[in-house]
Amino acid sequence: MSDKKSCIVDRYLFTYDCTVQANIFSCESYYGVSFNMNDGRYEVIHNYHMGNRLIINPKDGRFEDVPFKPDTFWLLPPEIEVEEI
């Protein structure tokens, strides 16, 4: 049995530990995946108006919304790997 799961959002393949809780979601103006981690929530969103975004909601209350691109992949926790496909 594999200890990894994966999903695809837009043109990115996400591979993550089975211990990571991931939820794929969509609505009228965006879709993406949310990863719930011990330190907070990480969401990779494809917004039809703003493109790909990484939303970071740490439990300490800070909030970050940055473009999601190879230069920002490192902001994801090490349990989550991303590959452009």
How much is the pLDDT for 10?
85
CA 52: distance to chain centroid? Answer: 10
Q: Quick one: which of 79, 78, 30, 28 has its CA closest to 55?
A: 30
> What's the confidence (pLDDT) of residue 29?
87
C-alpha 10: how far from chain center: 11
Per-residue pLDDT of the chain (85 residues; tens, 9 = 90+): 569 999 998 889 999 998 899 999 998 888 999 999 998 999 999 988 888 999 999 888 888 999 999 999 999 999 999 999 9
Neighbours of 33 (CB within 10 A): 21
Query: Exposure of 9 by Cβ count < 10 A (0-12 exposed, 13-18 middle, 19+ buried)?
Result: buried
Paired tokens of 16 = 């993550």
